[in-house]
């Protein structure tokens, strides 16, 4: 199915709800990649499609750059990377949530010429050539703000909510970094969705499935990494509503964080570097601009080699004033990447192993991601799974963002979409660590969310504690070299007082319960904590319950969240009251390590910093517009003054006016040349206003001469219409008087209208006569604006009388003795009135 046909089908599936409780909210979806950004807007009334940038391109390069004081995005930013390598920032996805001393940051420095520094959070900042530093979150937020503005221009309203794709392997630190960037950009995170899952939603939107699950692998070869996600699709029925829906279950995933399109570019750039050094005996690696040029050239050559057996690389003045030329063959390139071949297929095997499935269970391997077009990648996948399982039935570039948009629409009450329900899974084991109560020096580690746990899962932990204590959530295994393992520390506070209160109520062996939650976006946290103790019931019912095993001091196994919901529903009953007395909520203080999310003050400072930058750029843009507008206006005036005696401008102006204007024009041109570059916006507008004041009378005369015939015709039309009405109306008034019936108008009404008409005719005739004697370069004797206003006044006076309804005629009872069939010559009221009412 073509991408156009697919979009049309998708549009049919997206039925916008008629329930618009407030405003028609928009949902933005963003697929943020290392090389490219794709976005889609879901808004009632707007066709569902990929968002276009200002150049009408369907994807935006993930680059932000500065050209002196001008900030650029997308292709504009990427195109100047070779000229301003230290002011161009791309591949920022590698740095999201990454500690400064981690291996991934070292890798980033091998592909980028950007200068990096360490933040106070031990993460990465990037430094411009002028020394200005921006955190990774701030630079990503700038790009998201740019996309937000594109979406708002299309929507015609503010866009506040966003769904953003992330790789399934992203740790909590990386997800926190994404969420912080979203908030700094002025957006709200509606959800983070794993990119393979988003592709699955897109795939399911146009297909139907049976109740028997079918299994597919979503294979995503992107720029920064390669991922494989095993997904099951099946039809299901809601037990409550009996409505059918599509169920998507993510069963497992595999990935290679360091194998992707960027690594291919790096290998190809190394080939070009070796060729340059071999030919010219100069080390180009010491030249930032040269390295930036070769990086761009490597991407171009890689694209050519995807379809050809060789490519010619040519870079003018690549470095040291040397023009570089080299031939690269596909064989040479593939030999340099030979070690990557098994790594491209490895994520598929890992994903199948995690899902506990074999290749025989799989219906197809769906290829997506830009690097999936590379011949060596396709060859590696075909060798691993067989060519017959390869499926190219989704858009490699856009399936993730379209799936994310549909997923976002399903989360919003503003839209009705095909009912697709998604269950995703956690990629990393998470454990809880805490000190033993009886041996404070011993740390206990408890697995709470093992790899494969479903998003939305909750795990309640029970502790026998009398004092406040802490629970640390951490990764038992390193998620990536150099990344910390501790996610957060939850300090549970208020335990002694709560235990004391429960004991006073008669609770038996009170304990502490804490619930660990895995959100739908893949964040783990300690959500709730309470002190719980079953209170002994001394009533007869309670004793009987205890006799038959219902009582005692056993701690209930039931999740306290479910218990709390039951209590809420039965809060008016005595039994519910007793249960309410059995638990006391506790305070939880969450403490993050240095690589955790930005605190509120830091995010507010970053948001203010970006807003100040936006305001500065708007001011600069307004000043630039004022400068360009003034410059264009000066050229226009100069042409008007030089066009000769037969032009309307010359005919409608006097010699003294042109002389004054010419002098002022010369002064302004000289000022613009000398001081225009440093002048502020107000000064530039003041200079233009000074010239416009001198030009305005001339332009006004010309416009008045053009508008006069139509205004005169309009005025005369209403004079004629009014005169015609008065003639007919007076005849009707006379006829009504003879007939002895009331008239719509009185003589006073018609006399008043006639007086207004005569005054208008006299004023108009006198004005026209004066205008005939007025020269073209003199101010008009009669203004067309006043002509229109006076004609409008006469029109309104006339219309009031025309629209007046005829008065009702009172019926008089027939006199006794008069025959009903009298042949009186009196006219019938109906026929006569009809004639009188017509004009």
So what's the pLDDT on residue 819? 46
d(CA 691, CA 673): 16
Span 77-136, pLDDT tens digits: 999 999 999 999 999 999 999 999 999 999 999 999 999 999 999 999 999 999 999 999
Span 392-451, pLDDT tens digits: 989 999 999 999 999 999 887 778 788 999 999 999 999 999 999 888 789 999 999 999
Q: CA–CA distance from 272 to each of 268, 293, 316, 446 (Å)?
A: 7, 11, 14, 52
SS3 of residue 191 by DSSP: strand
d(CA 39, CA 240): 36
**Residue 234 CB-density burial (10 A; 0-12 exposed, 13-18 middle, 19+ buried):** middle
d(CA 405, CA 426): 22
**Residue 639 CB-density burial (10 A; 0-12 exposed, 13-18 middle, 19+ buried):** exposed
H or E stretch at 110? helix 103-111
What is the crossing angle of helices 375-385 and 341-355, to 10°? 40
d(CA 481, CA 305): 33
Give just the sign of the alpha carbon dihedral 168, 169, 173, 177.
negative
d(CA 384, CA 743): 99
Beta carbons of 250 and 423 less than 8 angstroms apart? yes
Q: CA–CA distance from 456 to each of 412, 507, 517, 523 (Å)?
A: 18, 32, 7, 9
Span 167-189, pLDDT tens digits: 999 999 999 999 999 999 999 99
Sequence-ordered alpha helix ranges (H) in 208-287? 261-280
d(CA 449, CA 428): 8
DSSP string for residues in 696-714:
HHHHHHHHHHHHHHHHHHH
Span 226-282, pLDDT tens digits: 999 999 999 999 999 999 999 999 999 999 999 999 999 999 999 999 999 999 999
Cβ within 8 Å of residue 653, ≥6 positions away:
661, 698, 701, 777
Task: Read off the pTM.
Answer: 0.79
Structural domains in the chain, sorted by start:
3-260+341-423 (3.30.420.40), 430-542+579-598 (2.60.34.10), 600-804+834-839 (1.20.1270.10)
- Strands 310-319 and 322-329, how do they pair? antiparallel
Beta carbons of 631 and 672 less than 8 angstroms apart? yes
Q: How many CB atoms lie within 10 A of CB 53?
A: 19
d(CA 765, CA 760): 8
Beta carbons of 433 and 445 less than 8 angstroms apart? yes
Token digits of residue 825: 């010559």
The DSSP code for 185 is: T
């Amino acid at each position: 199915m073509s991408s156009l046909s697919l979009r049309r089908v998708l549009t049919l599936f997206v039925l916008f709800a008629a329930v618009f409780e407030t405003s028609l909210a928009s949902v933005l979806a963003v697929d943020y990649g290392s090389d490219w950004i794709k976005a889609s807007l879901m808004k009632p009334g707007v066709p569902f499609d990929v968002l276009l940038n200002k150049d009408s391109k369907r994807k935006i390069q993930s680059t932000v750059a500065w050209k002196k004081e001008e900030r650029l995005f997308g292709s504009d930013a990427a195109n100047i990377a070779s000229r301003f390598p230290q002011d161009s920032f791309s591949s920022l996805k590698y740095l999201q949530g990454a500690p400064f001393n981690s291996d991934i940051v070292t890798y980033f420095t091998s592909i980028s010429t950007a200068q990096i520094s360490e933040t106070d959070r031990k993460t990465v900042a990037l430094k411009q050539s002028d020394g200005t530093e921006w955190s990774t979150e701030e630079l990503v937020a700038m790009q998201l703000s740019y996309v937000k503005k594109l979406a708002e221009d299309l929507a015609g309203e503010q866009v506040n909510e966003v769904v953003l794709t992330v790789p399934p392997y992203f740790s909590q630190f990386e997800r926190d970094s994404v969420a912080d960037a979203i908030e700094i950009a002025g957006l709200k995170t509606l959800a983070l969705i794993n990119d393979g899952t988003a592709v699955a939603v897109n795939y399911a939107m146009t297909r139907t499935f049976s109740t028997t699950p079918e299994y597919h692998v979503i294979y995503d070869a992107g720029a920064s990494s390669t991922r494989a996600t095993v997904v099951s699709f099946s039809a299901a029925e809601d037990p409550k509503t009996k409505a059918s829906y599509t169920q998507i279950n993510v069963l497992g995933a595999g990935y290679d964080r360091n194998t992707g399109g960027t690594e291919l570019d790096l290998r190809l750039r190394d080939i070009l570097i070796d060729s340059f050094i071999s030919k010219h005996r100069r080390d180009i690696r010491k030249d930032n601009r040269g390295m930036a040029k070769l990086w761009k050239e490597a991407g171009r050559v890689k694209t050519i080699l995807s379809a050809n057996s060789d490519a010619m690389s040519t870079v003018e003045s690549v470095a040291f004033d040397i023009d570089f030329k080299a031939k690269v063959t596909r064989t040479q390139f593939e030999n340099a990447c030979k070690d990557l071949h098994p790594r491209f297929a490895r994520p598929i095997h890992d994903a199948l192993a995690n899902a506990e499935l074999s290749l025989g269970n799989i219906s197809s391997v769906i290829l997506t991601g830009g690097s999936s077009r590379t011949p060596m990648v396709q060859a590696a996948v075909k060798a691993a799974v067989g060519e017959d399982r390869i499926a190219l039935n989704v858009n490699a570039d856009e399936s993730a963002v379209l799936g994310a948009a549909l997923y976002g629409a399903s989360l919003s009450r503003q839209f009705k979409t095909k009912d697709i329900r998604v269950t995703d899974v956690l990629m990393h084991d998470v454990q809880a660590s805490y000190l033993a109560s009886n041996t404070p020096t011993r740390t206990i580690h408890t697995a709470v969310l093992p790899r494969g746990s479903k998003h939305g899962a909750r795990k309640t932990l029970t502790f026998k504690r009398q004092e406040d204590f802490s629970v640390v959530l951490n990764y038992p295994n390193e998620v990536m070299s150099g990344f910390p393992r501790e996610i957060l520390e939850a300090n549970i506070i208020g335990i002694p007082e709560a235990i004391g209160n429960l004991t006073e109520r008669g609770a038996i062996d009170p304990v502490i319960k804490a619930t660990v939650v895995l959100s739908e976006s893949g964040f783990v946290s300690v959500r709730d904590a309470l002190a719980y103790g079953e209170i002994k019931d001394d009533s007869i019912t309670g004793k009987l319950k205890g006799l038959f095993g219902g009582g005692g001091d056993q701690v209930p196994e039931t999740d306290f969240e479910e218990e709390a919901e039951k209590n809420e529903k039965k809060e008016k009953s005595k039994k519910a009251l007793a249960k309410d007395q059995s638990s006391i909520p506790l305070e939880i203080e969450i403490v993050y390590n240095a690589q955790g999310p930005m605190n509120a003050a830091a995010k507010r400072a970053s948001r203010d910093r970006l807003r100040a930058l936006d305001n500065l750029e708007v001011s600069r843009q307004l000043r630039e517009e004022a400068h360009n507008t003034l410059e264009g206006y000066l050229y226009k005036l100069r042409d008007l003054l030089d066009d000769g005696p037969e032009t309307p401008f010359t005919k409608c102006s006097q010699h003294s006016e042109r002389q004054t204007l010419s002098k002022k024009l010369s002064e302004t041109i000289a000022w613009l040349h000398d001081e225009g570059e440093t002048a502020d916006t107000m000064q530039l507008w003041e200079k233009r206003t000074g010239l416009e004041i001198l030009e305005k009378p001339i332009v006004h005369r010309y416009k008045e001469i053009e508008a006069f015939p139509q205004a005169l015709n309009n005025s005369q039309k209403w004079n004629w219409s009014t005169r015609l009405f008065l003639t007919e109306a007076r005849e009707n008034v006379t006829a009504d008087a003879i007939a002895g019936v009331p008239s719509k108008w009185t003589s006073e009404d018609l006399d008043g209208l006639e007086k207004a008409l005569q005054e208008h005719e006299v004023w108009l005739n006198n004005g026209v006569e004066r205008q005939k004697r007025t020269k073209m370069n003199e101010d008009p004797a009669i203004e067309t604006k006043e002509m229109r206003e006076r004609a409008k006044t006469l029109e309104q006076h006339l219309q009031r009388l025309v629209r007046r309804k005829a008065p009702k005629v009172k019926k008089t009872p027939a006199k006794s003795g008069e025959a009903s069939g009298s042949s009186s010559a009196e006219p019938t009221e109906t026929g006569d009135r009809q004639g009188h009412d017509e004009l």
